[in-house]
Structure 1
């Protein structure tokens, strides 16, 4: 089977499509024929060597959608033909999900939303879980003013939608051309890159775009939650600065998938490209300004 791998760290050109052995499902596993895998900022960091893979060559990719084609001994949650979506970290073993087939612990998988194309479901796991867990850090009783930076991006767009579903009134910061989209996602006010943010106006800023300067919009003693660990501001004015990365949580992912089914949560797709265009996909994401997820598919 083919898989997208890195043999060394570096530019997008180090990505290659390689022939690898089709895995077999072990106890508690399912074998999945991949429909799509998403490209995330963490994939760029691993490829560059900012978060070096301990194993090379390494298959890239965290979140995946596909169809169960076999089950391992003791696996009971899924059957052949089931559509699933899942999140799995390759940071420890280099076993990413951007391959034609993956063997996956069934505990990591949940039923894919029935109302979206299966390949599009791969846009959900990492970005939506990151957003939901970031909001959870504010507590269920949060009632302050929230600004989401990168509100038109994958994680930021989910943060705006999920905050609005909680009954909050989030503000969004995005490019000027994305103002209407961000408002449709649920932002009560939208700022563009050309606007001057009101200084100290927000209780919390969730930065999903690597914009550490937006700490200026946080009130004294407020909170700045960075979802981009390579662009974190120095604390100032007693503002609490926190950095958060995703935690794999299948029950939470299942709840998010059901929100998609119920029409409460929208998946936003930027590009769908074949595995052979993985370098282009990384270059597009690295250039910034993508609106929604970039997906890679194995093709026919």
Structure 2
């Protein structure tokens, strides 16, 4: 089979190669991959900023394809099913545990830039009929994370949700929040990106370059109450403002560190308002399945900014690293 390997910790060190066709063992499925989708974790792996990867390796955590062969005992799927393999195939359900997240596709296991991949049958989720393979490939990390964000604050009609940025997790959170009946305040540095968010249902737009005190703008938009949920995707540069923008008893769901992971906070910001600060590292196969059901029930279509060819991995990675995209960047096989 063909595969794209990352051979050095660099955004340009990809090579096309030929590897032996994998065979499904007991309980496994063989998937003919049709698309992959990039996350910032893939960029971190490619630049040597994320531990655990041994080079050369087949990168990219997320992908989608069709089942072409079954191992003995694999009964939850059938040949021809369009499926999404989970990023962490050992995390089937329940809370995060070290043994459940030790195996990660595109890091410690072969990723999605290959013709075929073998994964445990129980770690795949069927792709909704209304989505193509590129759209389906965006779901494992970003949609699962966003779904858990909305669930963490029990978002419902009347809730207010603040979303930072217009990346994959942010836009999935916007779509899930609107499907739940919430009012959404979208914060970005780009008017063009904000307008893309408006088209997805964002109720209020705040450009933080024009309004650096965007947290104060959130309070004004909510008559001083603040947001029930803040989806914090940036990190150090915005974290204190996210705490300020949250309502009493609200939730700050933190998943990003684009501006840095080390931050200093005033604990009274959390204690005084009895805030819940929830860290997240995606979710289980069961969480992905729930997110997919919500996507199917609400007709949600993932935002794919651009799709590259299988031999354009370096260009796809550069696009994600540059942060100019809206939603997700995909790679088609």
CA distance in 2: counterparts of 1:41 and 1:247, whole angstroms: 16
User: Residues 253-300 of structure 1, C-alpha deviation per residue, up to 9 Å, x if partnerless?
Assistant: 2333334334431211111112211011110000002112111122xx
1:47-126 pair list within 5 angstroms: 47-88=46-87, 89-90=104-105, 93-126=108-141
Query: Shift in Å at residue 162 of structure 1?
Result: 0.8
Tell me what 1:17 maps to: 16
Tell me what 1:130 maps to: 145
| Aligned residue among 225, 235, 240 for 1:215 | 240
Tell me what 1:228 maps to: 256
1:82–1:141 Cα change, 3 Å = closer
CA distance in 2: counterparts of 1:54 and 1:119, whole angstroms: 25
| Residues 4, 58 of structure 2: 8 Å contact kept | yes
CA distance in 1: counterparts of 2:153 and 2:173, whole angstroms: 12
CA distance in 1: counterparts of 2:7 and 2:238, whole angstroms: 36
- Size of the aligned set, in residue pairs, is 295
| Residues 176, 193 of structure 1: 8 Å contact kept | no
Q: TM-score, normalised by structure 1?
A: 0.88
| Aligned residue among 185, 204, 207 for 1:171 | 185
User: Residues 14-36 of structure 1, C-alpha deviation per residue, up to 9 Å, x if partnerless?
Assistant: 22222212111011111010110
User: Residues 153-210 of structure 1, C-alpha deviation per residue, up to 9 Å, x if partnerless?
Assistant: 2110011111122222121112201223212323221112333114272344212245
Query: Shift in Å at residue 120 of structure 1?
Result: 2.5
CA distance in 2: counterparts of 1:146 and 1:258, whole angstroms: 21
Query: Shift in Å at residue 211 of structure 1?
Result: 6.7
Query: Shift in Å at residue 247 of structure 1?
Result: 1.7
| Aligned residue among 208, 216, 237 for 1:193 | 208
| Residues 229, 243 of structure 1: 8 Å contact kept | no
| Residues 53, 94 of structure 1: 8 Å contact kept | no
Structure 2 residue 332 is matched with structure 1 residue 297: yes
| Residues 156, 181 of structure 2: 8 Å contact kept | no
The DSSP-based 3-state class of the residue aligned with 2:22 is: coil
Tell me what 1:8 maps to: 8
Query: Shift in Å at residue 57 of structure 1?
Result: 1.7
Tell me what 1:238 maps to: 269
User: Residues 112-165 of structure 1, C-alpha deviation per residue, up to 9 Å, x if partnerless?
Assistant: 111122333112221100111122222467965431101x22110011111122
CA distance in 2: counterparts of 1:170 and 1:160, whole angstroms: 7
| Residues 7, 56 of structure 2: 8 Å contact kept | yes
Q: TM-score, normalised by structure 2?
A: 0.80
My pick for the range that moved more, 80-89 or 62-71, is 80-89
CA distance in 2: counterparts of 1:63 and 1:52, whole angstroms: 18
| Residues 173, 192 of structure 1: 8 Å contact kept | yes
The DSSP-based 3-state class of the residue aligned with 2:289 is: helix
